[in-house]
């Protein structure tokens, strides 16, 4: 029964079996590209292959949780500024151009990966699981860290 349930979970979320046991701890670091990160975490394409490229800043885990891969450095990135407060326990996401994105309708939790670009590669650092503060709106979203460890 356990193998059957695990197999269904692996198929449902399009994960490799190694992913189920992947534990992330605050500060865990990965190198390369977004695709390299997803591969390292054990995710695969719909065809079961390694990712060759992934340019999006998000990867959906469940109906309520996604992986968020963005720079959190207080700089403008395509109309969004993401910055830390209170020793990285809070992330403030500011929408500069009033881009309409539904708030709180689906993904209220984010597995946060802070992306730092270097000349030839990017550095990805796990920061924790964050929950959307209910006082957030389309202009400013406030994310509060719930835990600094997460098991995929």
pLDDT-derived band at 97 (thresholds 50, 70, 90) equals confident
Cβ atoms 95, 140 nearer than 8 A: yes
Instruction: Give the per-residue pLDDT at 17.
Output: 47
pLDDT-derived band at 103 (thresholds 50, 70, 90) equals low
Residues in the chain: 152
Strand blocks (E) in the chain: 23-25, 29-32, 58-60, 65-70, 76-77, 80-85, 90-95, 109-117, 122-132, 140-147, 149-151
With a pLDDT cut of 90, the percent of the chain lying above it is 66
Cβ atoms 132, 141 nearer than 8 A: yes
How many other C-beta atoms lie within 10 A of the C-beta of residue 64? 11
């Amino acid at each position: 029964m356990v193998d059957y349930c695990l197999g269904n979970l692996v198929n449902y979320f399009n994960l490799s079996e190694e992913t189920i046991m992947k534990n992330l701890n605050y500060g865990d670091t990965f190198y390369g590209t977004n695709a390299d990160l997803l591969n390292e975490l054990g995710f695969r394409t719909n065809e079961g292959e390694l990712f060759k490229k992934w340019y999006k800043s998000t990867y959906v885990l469940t109906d309520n949780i996604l992986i968020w891969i963005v720079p959190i450095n207080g700089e403008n990135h395509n109309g969004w500024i993401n910055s830390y407060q209170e020793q990285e326990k809070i992330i403030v996401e500011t929408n500069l151009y009033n881009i309409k994105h539904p708030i709180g309708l689906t993904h209220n939790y984010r597995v946060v990966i802070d992306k730092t670009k270097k000349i030839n590669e990017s550095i990805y650092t796990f920061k924790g699981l964050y929950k959307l503060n209910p006082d957030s709106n389309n202009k400013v979203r406030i994310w509060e860290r719930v835990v600094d460890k997460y098991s995929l």
